[in-house]
Amino acid sequence: MTNQFVLFYRRHLPHIQPPGSTIFVTFRLYGSIPREVIETLAEIARQADKRLRAALPHQRARLALLEHKRMFVCWDDALDRAGYGPTWLRNDEVACVVAETLRYWEDVKYDLLAYTIMPNHVHVLFTPLPVGKESDIYHRLPDIMQSIKGYTAWRANRILGRRGHFWQEESYDHFVRNERELKRIVRYIVNNPVKAGLVHTPEEWKWTYSKWGWEP
């Protein structure tokens, strides 16, 4: 059911990942959204899927993007409330491990553009790099996420003195289409702690980074 609401819109997008495209990824702690909320989101996704299937072919791309944005807002609002499940990323040592890992792969697997580490989820924006200097093959998103999530889960569990799942397996990802959308996403990332009521200004949240500062 979870995969259904995460993936429903992808069947209708008119493109595949362009080489080196910029990617906006959100990944969250295991068990950070209650089952009843996931079921509600899944139902919203099913209804959206029906609308997309019923739409005329030339309308589907635009409608899919609108539904995509609507689903993301619903999902992220549920996470921002942090009213259910673990908030292990409130632990400064754990958050620091995540931040250091994101920076570790910078200029190795990707060009890191922005991130924010929230109490129960992470937003990150990056552009995958070629696997070699003369290569036209780029680092794959699943490999990048495994590098980030695998190591940080191991380190975080040691810090917290626990075992078991740390990150939820699935994540939200979106390939950025143009400069205007890129700037909108950067603004969203740096302002997410403010939107969630954690701080009054983006500068106050120490687990946020943007290559362009607070106003891209």
**DSSP letters for 132-165:** STT---B--HHHHHHHHHHHHHHHHHHHHT--S-
> Residue 216 falls within a domain, yes or no?
no
State how many domains the chain has: 1
Residue 130 has pLDDT above 50, yes or no: yes
Residue 159's domain comprises: 2-210
What are the pLDDT digits (tens) for 10-52?
443 333 456 778 999 999 999 988 777 777 777 877 887 788 7
β-strand partners of 124: 25, 115
> Domain containing 148 — which CATH number?
3.30.70.1290
99/117 Cα distance (integer angstroms)? 8
Residues 6+ apart with CB under 8 A from 179: none
pLDDT attached to residue 17: 58
> Residue 115 falls within a domain, yes or no?
yes
Q: Are 120 and 82 in contact (CB under 8 A)?
A: yes
∠ at Cα 15 (11, 17), nearest 5°?
A: 105
pTM for the whole structure: 0.82
Residues 6+ apart with CB under 8 A from 34: 84, 85
- Dihedral sign for Cα atoms in the order 154, 158, 163, 166: negative
What are the pLDDT digits (tens) for 135-156?
788 999 999 999 999 999 999 9
pLDDT attached to residue 8: 36
Token pair for 168: 């939820």
> Residue 215 falls within a domain, yes or no?
no
Q: Are 192 and 171 in contact (CB under 8 A)?
A: no
Greatest distance between any 2 Cα atoms in the chain: 54
What are the pLDDT digits (tens) for 61-99?
777 777 777 777 777 777 877 677 899 999 999 999 999
Residue 182 has pLDDT above 80, yes or no: yes
> Residue 178 falls within a domain, yes or no?
yes
Q: Is 116 exposed, middle or buried (0-12, 13-18, 19+ CB in 10 A)?
A: buried
> Residue 41 falls within a domain, yes or no?
yes
